[in-house]
Chains A and B, each alone.
Chain A
């Protein structure tokens, strides 16, 4: 189970970094979200270290840690808010600067 988690987290992390480094700002934002998903998955993996059964419902076996799932929910809400804010700002930027190519949105560097 842990091996699957590790592999998937690694793949998602790599995908996220790749997307983050694109010039297209929307893809950059997507890259951020994929990275956050990778880290959420890492958090979930922390919880299933000891047990893989749902807690509190009386299933047989060692239950997984419920605290990380609560943390995960908070983290997902935060990542969702950040992603929405980022996309909203990119939307306004595309109208204000006429482009979403990060190489052209560089007025502060000139």
Chain B
């Protein structure tokens, strides 16, 4: 099946980059062109997902060369779902930029970089070629670094230098892993590598490649030993960007880890999964406790991302179909909740002249903002997993996965760590929306537009009340991951 629609979520944002660069003179038109490009990408990602449901794995051979020689884009249910998640959240991000009062959103480079990030993300999810994955990840990293460096916060530059250095080193390891795989098997196509690894043959470099790829992906999703750059980077970037970074950009690593353990290194996956389980539990507690001792509402959410990624890693670590489905549900719901919460925090902070999200300055600012307060409260409950919101569905799925995997200690730790989330979310909510302002704070009566976070919170509620489609889709995706031959034959032919 050669389905051209697979190209859509990559092509439309990229066309948007070019259009926005040509329209650099008019910022207003630029923003709307960017939004239109993202909506087109969102629609085409839905088309792709529908096609995957109907006809199985969709493949697009770039330039007509058949894989393993040419580059192939291959979409099964896993990356179809991740692609829809990305384009939904990125569209909300573009919508937030349209109503944003940030100074940096007026720069002619802002919208092109934002769309560049969307291109890189969609490409990294959809590609079936490991070198192309590296290229798209680099596109994404460079765009996000540029966006953070031009942030209104003067310290964004420092965080951007830090992140670019660390992430470039991570990309070096990814490249080293790619090279090692090419040296061992002479192919770059994921399906072809999987077929070569299936034979059980392990040349000298292949296992090192597994380790290097895993390190690179862990670094991209900021898991415990590679986490130190993340709070700085996610806190200092502009609101619309930090909402994207903390929700969808960290999922590239998660996607890579799922592919690594279910498609490529299946015989080694026992060891890899054990490591992921341990790192996930460390992440849950590190993130939860770290979130307590922060004095900045955005930084707290950045720390909370450690914890939530930890829950996802625990799901991947258990590795049963139920647990993998739980990891996918968790990843998708977390993207919606976290981006909405960061946008709401940014919208409150945008009323201050300093635009700082430090709790000392935000105290009581939201007292008059009943709507934002309600949305933030719902988002906080969703993040900590209270029914009937989507966070509850993901926690429930994860607990079921844990019972299925019979890993009782890990399950107990994971559930215990979930309580931390509720505590730090409610602490911040009270501080921002209920405490009396300490002294007279000067804040403006207007701020960033609230349409985008409202839509995302609405989606959270809808996916909580009416969760069946997402849950069954994730279960089908996990079932598909259990049979890697489906993916391999779809790409390479029988």
| A interface list, Cβ under 8 A from B | 20, 25, 28-29, 32, 35-36, 39, 42-43, 46, 49, 68, 71, 74-75, 78, 81-82, 85-86, 89-90, 92-93, 96-97, 105-108
Min distance, Cβ A44 to any Cβ of chain B, angstroms: 10
Task: Decide if B236 touches A85 in the complex (CB within 8 Å).
Answer: no
**B168 & A82 in contact (Cβ 8 Å cutoff):** yes
- A81 to B142, Cβ gap below 8 A? yes
- Among B141-179, those with CB < 8 Å from A are 142, 145-146, 149, 154-155, 157-161, 164-165, 168-169, 171-172, 175-176, 179
Show 11 residue pairs from A and B whose CB-CB distance is below 8 angstroms, ordered by the A residue. Answer: A20-B169, A46-B179, A68-B182, A71-B131, A82-B142, A82-B164, A82-B168, A96-B157, A97-B158, A108-B158, A108-B236
Which chain B residues have a beta carbon within 8 Å of chain A's beta carbons?
A: 131, 135, 138, 142, 145-146, 149, 154-155, 157-161, 164-165, 168-169, 171-172, 175-176, 179, 182-183, 188, 232, 236
| B residues less than 8 Å from A105 (CB atoms) | 158, 161
Q: How many Å from the CB of B278 to the closest CB on chain A? A: 27
Other A-B pairs, 5, CB within 8 Å; known A82-B171, A86-B161, A93-B157: A39-B179, A85-B145, A89-B157, A89-B164, A108-B158
Secondary structure type dominating chain B contacts: helix
Contact B158 A86 (CB under 8 A): no
Main secondary structure of the interface of A (DSSP, over half): helix
Nearest to A83 among chain B residues (CB) is B168
Across the interface, do A96 and B146 meet the contact criterion of CB distance under 8 Å?
no
On chain A, the residues within 8 Å of B165 by CB distance are: 20, 28-29, 32, 86
Complex Cα distance A70/B149, Å? 31
Partner of B179, one of A42, A89, A92: A42
A78 partner residues in chain B, CB cutoff 8 A: 135, 138
Q: How far is the CA of A39 from the CA of B145 in the complex (A)?
A: 23
Determine whether the beta carbon of A75 is less than 8 Å from that of B175.
yes
